[in-house]
Amino acid sequence: MATKLNVYKKDGTTPVATGTDTEGAVITGLAAGTVVPTGDYESTHTDDAGILTESNRVPVPGFTVKQAQEAAPTNVTSTPTEDGATVKAG
């Protein structure tokens, strides 16, 4: 019997994410910078065999969705000029 981790939007009836305790359940589709208060999402456990009933819901701690970060420049070069340098990347 494998335990599955389910994440629901508060008051939702269908999980928005599923996974395992080890790998986690990934919530997606939120805009960068979104502040999600504790309890907006709830988690439960179920077993794949369907022998046990779903656990009680537990509030997911609040979080803020990270801002995406631009990739660091690669292959940076500089070419001296008469009064400084021209820097290029790519």
The pLDDT tens digits for 65-88 are 999 889 999 999 999 999 999 999
| Number of domains making up the chain | 1
Tell me, yes or no, whether 81 lies in a domain.
Answer: no
Tell me, yes or no, whether 72 lies in a domain.
Answer: no
| Cβ proximity of 43 and 25 under 8 Å | yes
Tell me, yes or no, whether 75 lies in a domain.
Answer: no
CA 66 remoteness from chain centre? 9
Tell me, yes or no, whether 47 lies in a domain.
Answer: yes
* Predicted pLDDT of residue 48: 85
Tell me, yes or no, whether 28 lies in a domain.
Answer: yes
Tell me, yes or no, whether 82 lies in a domain.
Answer: no
Q: CA torsion sign, 18 to 24 to 29 to 31? A: positive
Tell me, yes or no, whether 90 lies in a domain.
Answer: no
Q: What is the pTM of this model?
A: 0.75
DSSP 8-state assignment for residue 40: S
Residue whose C-alpha is closest to residue 3's, from 18, 17, 14 = 18
Residues in the chain, pLDDT under 70: 1
Domain range for 60: 3-67
* Predicted pLDDT of residue 1: 66
Tell me, yes or no, whether 76 lies in a domain.
Answer: no
Rounded to 10 degrees, the C-alpha dihedral 35/36/38/42 comes to -170
* Predicted pLDDT of residue 33: 93
